[in-house]
């Protein structure tokens, strides 16, 4: 049996609807976001889960909770799964950031791997801290199914790291809508992407971008 890690982005928030920069801002799920979490739990409750690792933010905890309730598993919170820290850009729209931090914004857009938002984190910083969680999972669970509930940028950066894609290209190479599920199988040849950004489990709400 192989190790399979399921990566789930949290459900809808107000920030995901408005496309504001939201990393360290500890926002709640919207009502639609809560329904997305329930849809995921219902669809995936029959999977024989071994563990559930979760970013310690309210939106990710609320996304994982319905599945924890159905399976009886306790979520394991890890700071390494938090979203990118957008620093001074938190809560601002891209237009506002472009106006107020124009040069830094352009550098970040062109190469986010090595250029951080103003007082924020670079993609390589997220890759480093999230890789510690993936390594912990790989060392602790040699096989079975593990759920990781995290965030848009963080999951994309993890996937880039696992698949040998330059983490600086995470915004250009991988689409990751709210409540999307991606699956990576770890076998003798290394990480194998089995599913990317799937949302077929969403039944009670529209498949919001």
138, 158 Cβ separation under 8 angstroms: no
Q: Which residues contact 135 (CB under 8 A, 6 or more apart)?
A: none
pLDDT tens digits, residue range 89-133? 999 999 999 999 999 999 999 999 999 999 999 999 999 999 999
- Model pLDDT for residues 149-168, shown as the tens digit of each residue: 999 999 999 999 999 999 99
CA angle at residue 180 from 11 to 87, to 5 degrees?
60
Q: For residue 172, name the pLDDT band (cuts at 50, 70, 90).
A: very high
122 in Cβ contact with 90 (< 8 Å): no
Question: What does the pLDDT read at residue 196?
Answer: 98
Residue 26 neighbours by CB distance under 10 Å: 10
Integer-rounded Cα Rg, in Å, for the chain is 16
The domains located in the chain, with CATH, are 3-84+127-198 (3.40.50.1240)
pLDDT at 111: 93
Return the pLDDT at 206.
65
**What local confidence, expressed as pLDDT, does residue 18 receive?**
86
Check if the beta carbon of residue 39 is closer than 8 Å to that of residue 181.
no
Structure confidence by residue, pLDDT tens digits, 178-192: 999 999 999 999 999
The enclosing H or E element of 140 equals helix 123-140
Residue 96: the pLDDT is: 96
> Percentages helix, strand, coil for the chain, rounded to the nearest 5?
45, 20, 35
Residue 207 has pLDDT above 80, yes or no: no
Phi, psi for 189 (deg, rounded to 5): -90, -5
* Backbone torsion region of residue 130, taken as left when φ is above 0, otherwise alpha when ψ lies between -120 and 50, otherwise beta: alpha
Cα separation values, 87 from 82, 163, 188, Å: 14, 28, 40
pLDDT at 204 over 80: no
Strand duo 181-187 + 144-150: pairing = unpaired
pLDDT score for 19: 81
Q: Model pTM?
A: 0.95
pLDDT digits over 16-34, tens only? 988 889 999 999 999 999 9
């Amino acid at each position: 049996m192989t190790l399979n890690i399921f990566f789930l982005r949290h459900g809808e928030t107000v920030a995901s609807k408005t496309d504001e920069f939201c990393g360290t801002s500890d926002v709640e799920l919207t009502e639609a976001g809560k329904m997305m979490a329930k849809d995921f739990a219902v669809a995936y409750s029959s999977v024989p889960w071994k563990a559930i690792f979760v970013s310690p933010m309210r939106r990710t905890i609320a996304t994982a909770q319905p599945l924890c309730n159905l399976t009886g598993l306790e979520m394991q919170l890890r700071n390494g799964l938090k979203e990118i820290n957008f620093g001074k850009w938190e809560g601002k729209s891209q237009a506002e950031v472009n106006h107020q931090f124009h040069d830094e914004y352009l550098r970040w857009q062109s190469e986010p791997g090595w250029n951080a938002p103003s007082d924020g984190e670079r993609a390589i910083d997220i890759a480093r801290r999230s890789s510690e969680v993936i390594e912990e999972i790989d060392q602790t669970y040699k096989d079975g199914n593990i759920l990781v509930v995290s965030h848009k940028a963080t999951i994309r950066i993890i996937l880039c790291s696992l698949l040998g894609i330059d983490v600086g290209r995470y915004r250009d190479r991988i689409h990751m809508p709210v409540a999307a599920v991606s699956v990576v199988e770890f076998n003798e040849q290394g990480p194998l992407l089995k599913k990317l950004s799937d949302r077929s489990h969403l039944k009670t709400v529209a498949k919001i971008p």
